[in-house]
Structure 1
Amino acid sequence: MTTPNPGQPDPWPGSPQYSSEPPQQPGPYPQYPTPPGQYPMPPAAPERRPVPADVTTAFQLWFAVIALGVVYLVAALMFVHSDRATFVDQLMDELAKQQPGLEVSRSEVDQLLTLGLVGTGVVLALVLGGLTVLFAFKMRKGRNWARMVLTMAGVFTVFSAIPTVFGAGAATGTAALVMGGAGILQAVVAVGAIVLMHRKESNAYFLNLPAGPAR
């Protein structure tokens, strides 16, 4: 019930009187300063250590290993394709033994062999090259397991090139010479990358050891 105007009698005597003015809103709550140190700050992110120069050089050498591997693979496919007549004869003999009633012309077998060589080369280049690139990037980021994988791959490359160095099973022709040269160079570059990945500064980087005094 509202308050009657001044000078007018109260039509409801004894009843509570209410003001016609709108109620006032309470003022803003007081702001209290937060005591310093009451809420602990989150720990700062660890500072990223710089990549040693030896690791960067090893990273670049692994790309050279990939490029030489592609050259070796192309030369090997060319070598097989240059002597495809022998492989076609072998395939036709195998087909005749396994499926005597199957009639396949020599040209069809030749095309099948060519497609198989191209497909094999593309798959090997993509798979092996892609994995090596992935491991190289992980190695540069300081992943020790990637360094170990690349080390084992490099050792395998070196042992694969040993017969070529000593002339075991040497073949003639341009493709064979390219294969031998690419294989030897690939092994040499892989050895260089392995050595750089296992030097003192590199070990400290991969094992997260404290940096030594500047020299």
Structure 2
Amino acid sequence: MSSPQPWAPQPGQPRPVDPKPDRPVLAGSIAIATELWLVVIAALSVAQIGSYRTARDTVLQYAEKLPKDAPDAERRSLELMSSTGMVIASLVVGVVIGAAIALVAMYFVRDGRNWARLLLSGLSAYVVVGALMAFFGPRTWTQAPEIIAGACALFALFMLMRRDADTYCREMTEFRAAARTPQPPVGHWPMPPQLPPQQDSGGPRE
């Protein structure tokens, strides 16, 4: 009869549990891109609120072009939209919605979601195009924060497209898949079957 090997599981001993994989370290490119986007949000918020006079003048110009036989309800609606409170409220709501979308995308990018990385890259490209249009547009003081936002968005887009950012998202996908895999229940190695005791047949013994 061969003796059990030292590496073989012994009956009654605890069964080892597979260790969970370590969470991947946040990629430097992802960290820099999301920090740059905080500057983008702040700069665009300043530019948006600063465009109050332009937004109000646009509504007033539209109201002046209305025909004389325009309904009174439409005129009253334009007067309400051109009021200071309504213009500021609409600008603030736009800032809040835009910032919320960007912050949600930033959160999921840091969590390693590849779709969020692509979404934030698209938002970065959109901000860059807007900054170029502002640069070649009419000279106003709001061009400065828009150009700052465009420069930060361009650098953030470059960082989001780096190889280590893509690698981090793939590693996080594998990490989440491994975390969802059910672990075997903690228990003990099964005991060997016990043989029944041999019974005496009761016959004559020599």
After TM superposition, the structure 1 = structure 2 runs for residues 162-201 of structure 1, keeping only pairs within 5 Å, are 162-165=132-135, 167=136, 169-171=137-139, 176-177=140-141, 179-201=142-164
Contact 2:49–2:92, Cα closer than 8 Å, also in 1: no
Cα separation, 2, equivalents of 1:47 and 1:145? 22
RMSD, aligned α-carbons = 3.0
Q: Per-residue CA shift, 1:131-159, capped at 9, x if unaligned?
A: 10111111111111111000011111111
Residue ranges of structure 2 left out of the alignment (5+ in a row): 1-9, 175-206
- Provide the residue aligned with 1:48 in structure 2: 23
Aligned letter for 1:183? E
Cα separation, 1, equivalents of 2:69 and 2:121? 44
Aligned letter for 2:162? R
- Provide the residue aligned with 2:177 in structure 1: none
Contact 2:60–2:82, Cα closer than 8 Å, also in 1: no
Match of 2:66 among 87, 94, 97: 94
In the alignment, is residue 155 of structure 1 matched against residue 130 of structure 2? Answer: no
- Provide the residue aligned with 2:38 in structure 1: 63
- TM normalised by structure 1 equals 0.64
With over 3 angstroms needed to count, the CA separation of the structure-2 counterparts of 1:136 and 1:111, relative to structure 1, is: closer
- Provide the residue aligned with 2:3 in structure 1: none
- Which structure has the larger Rg? 1
Residues matched between the structures, number = 163
Cα separation, 2, equivalents of 1:170 and 1:143? 39
In the alignment, is residue 206 of structure 1 matched against residue 181 of structure 2? Answer: no
Paired-residue identity, %: 18
Q: Per-residue CA shift, 1:143-186, capped at 9, x if unaligned?
A: 11111000011111111222233x2x414xxxx22x21111111
CA apart distance, 1:34? 6.4
Cα separation, 1, equivalents of 2:121 and 2:81? 39
With over 3 angstroms needed to count, the CA separation of the structure-2 counterparts of 1:103 and 1:60, relative to structure 1, is: closer
In the alignment, is residue 131 of structure 1 matched against residue 101 of structure 2? Answer: yes
Runs of 4+ deviating beyond 6 Å? none
Residue ranges of structure 1 left out of the alignment (5+ in a row): 1-32, 211-215
Match of 1:77 among 52, 55, 58: 52
Aligned letter for 2:71? Q
Cα separation, 2, equivalents of 1:52 and 1:101? 56
Aligned letter for 2:31? T
Cα separation, 2, equivalents of 1:78 and 1:113? 11
- TM normalised by structure 2 equals 0.67
Cα separation, 1, equivalents of 2:133 and 2:126? 13
Q: Per-residue CA shift, 1:88-143, capped at 9, x if unaligned?
A: 36326538533159996xxx927853232112112111111011011111111111
Q: Please state whether the residue corresponding to 1:98 is helix, strand or coil.
A: coil
